[in-house]
Amino acid sequence: MKVLVTGGAGYIGSHTVRELINSGHRVTVIDDLSKGHALAVDPRATLFRGSTGDSALLRRCLDAEQIEAVLHFAANIEVSESVLDPVRYYRNNFANTLSLLGAMVSAGVKRFVFSSTAAVYGNPVETPIDELHPSQPISPYGRSKMMAELAIKDVCHAHGLSATILRYFNVAGAGPDGSIGEDHHPESHLIPRILRAARDVTDIQIFGTDYDTPDGTCIRDYVHVVDLAHAHVLALEKLKEGSCQVLNIGSETGFSVREVITACEQVVGTKLGVIEGHRRDGDPAILVASSRRIREDLGWRARYPEIRTIVQHAWHWHSTHPLGFRGKINPSVEAHSSTLEI
Ligand code: UDP
């Protein structure tokens, strides 16, 4: 299939681009490169630099590349930033999704996979969280994604779009060959922050040790980024005509912050300095997914379910790329820049 991937230069998008191409699809990427990295994009894809809010670019791309399906990752993802700058989040995550949906309707593109988040659920009222759990997001980030989901459902109804909305829990790891991985600025996620602390011999701070959990620290459900990417390929290939379905993607297993630190220490082979800090605003104590539906509907199974493997792959990336993509010497750079259409 000819597939457009928005945000394909980002962490999850770039792993999905690679999975799509390895599965035989032809991929075009739109990314404004504000957070993503051109070097993260598989050189077999065509990269257009620009925003999903740019209707002319979208039209050109959908028509010229004869796009048959869109996977939409481009978004802002920081909860705390969304509280400080909600307009940016509603614009990029909601309004730009509308602009993309409008362009798809005009171009007659009927297949859509959307990158959503457990943040649409808000504070869990029960755990594990299944797709019928109430959606009461507690941040502009979660609300901007929920609004996008509502718009997608309406477009499915009105225009016969077929869509799968994937709600991610926690994502970590890197390409097992160590060539692509997580490179956020600033980095807020636990596993890369622990691994950077290990690499740079600094301390890691735990945000809250007084939660109602067995060891007092928050519990999260981690999925390997390659397994998440694979879920997108399955979602695309198994889209049911005229349907709009929501699927959680998680491992159904929770690890506390302290357990993740221990797993990282075992992989890295050193003991880390730990600072027990205050809670971070907006962190629920436990977020664990029920992913029964995605296993039944898509036949999805994690290839890398072990937290140790997730951390090993992440460590391979971080330890060999201390500057992330900025320090990456890649023989494909020249071939790659020739596909950068601006
Ligand atoms: N966390 C932490 N120290 C850090 C980064 C994160 O204790 O330096 C905690 C955070 O409070 C949360 C968990 O680790 O309980 C996972 O956070 P992350 O930002 O990775 O993902 P989130 O669950 O917020 O999407």
309 CA → ligand 1 middle, Å? 19
The Cα–Cα gap between 194 and 185 comes to 15
Instruction: Return the ligand 1 atom nearest residue 119 CA.
Output: 25
258 CA → ligand 1 middle, Å? 11
The residue whose CA is least distant from atom 21 of ligand 1 is: 189
CB 272 within 8 A of CB 204: yes
Overall pTM surpassing 0.75 (yes/no): yes
Q: Which CATH superfamily is domain 2-326 in?
A: NAD(P)-binding Rossmann-like Domain (3.40.50.720)
Instruction: Return the ligand 1 atom nearest residue 218 CA.
Output: 15
The residue whose CA is least distant from atom 1 of ligand 1 is: 190
Instruction: Return the ligand 1 atom nearest residue 219 CA.
Output: 15
**Pocket perturbation via mutation, ligand 1, pick of 220, 259, 262, 278 by most ligand atoms within 8 A of CB:** 220
189 CA → ligand 1 middle, Å? 6
pLDDT of amino acid 282: 83
Instruction: Return the ligand 1 atom nearest residue 277 CA.
Output: 7
- Pocket flag, ligand 1, residue 196 (CB < 6 Å): no
How many other CB atoms sit within 10 Å of the CB of residue 300?
Answer: 21
The token duo for 259 is 């357990």
**Pocket perturbation via mutation, ligand 1, pick of 207, 260, 274 by most ligand atoms within 8 A of CB:** 207
User: What residue ranges do the domains of the chain occupy?
Assistant: 2-326
Q: Is the link from the previous residue into 128 a cis peptide, with omega within 30 of 0? A: yes
The residue whose CA is least distant from atom 4 of ligand 1 is: 190
Residue by residue, pLDDT tens for the chain (342 residues) are 999 999 999 999 999 999 999 999 999 999 999 999 999 999 999 999 999 999 999 999 999 999 999 999 999 999 999 999 999 999 999 999 999 999 999 999 999 999 999 999 999 999 999 999 999 999 999 999 999 999 999 999 999 999 999 999 999 999 999 999 999 999 999 999 999 999 999 999 999 999 999 999 999 999 999 999 999 999 999 999 999 999 999 999 999 999 999 999 999 999 999 999 999 988 899 999 999 999 999 999 999 999 999 999 999 999 999 999 987 754 443 334 334 444
Classified as helix, coil or strand, 282 is: coil
pLDDT of amino acid 342: 40
The set of catalytic residues is 141
* E-strand stretches of the chain: 2-6, 26-31, 46-49, 69-72, 111-117, 162-168, 170-172, 204-207, 219-220, 222-224, 244-249, 255-256, 274-277, 286-287, 340-341
The token duo for 233 is 């390929």
- Pocket flag, ligand 1, residue 207 (CB < 6 Å): yes
162 CB contacts (<8 Å, ≥6 apart)? 110, 111, 112, 156, 239, 240, 241, 242, 243, 244
CB 326 within 8 A of CB 188: no
Q: How far is CA 314 from CA 19, 22, 171, 174, 309, in A?
A: 18, 21, 11, 5, 8
78 CA → ligand 1 middle, Å? 11
Q: Is the link from the previous residue into 186 a cis peptide, with omega within 30 of 0? A: yes
pLDDT of amino acid 334: 30
Q: Residues 12, 105, 1, 75: what is their CA dihedral angle, to the nearest 10 degrees?
A: -10
Helices (H), 96-251: 96-107, 140-159, 190-200, 225-237
- Pocket flag, ligand 1, residue 97 (CB < 6 Å): no
The residue whose CA is least distant from atom 3 of ligand 1 is: 206
pLDDT of amino acid 336: 40
- Pocket flag, ligand 1, residue 184 (CB < 6 Å): no
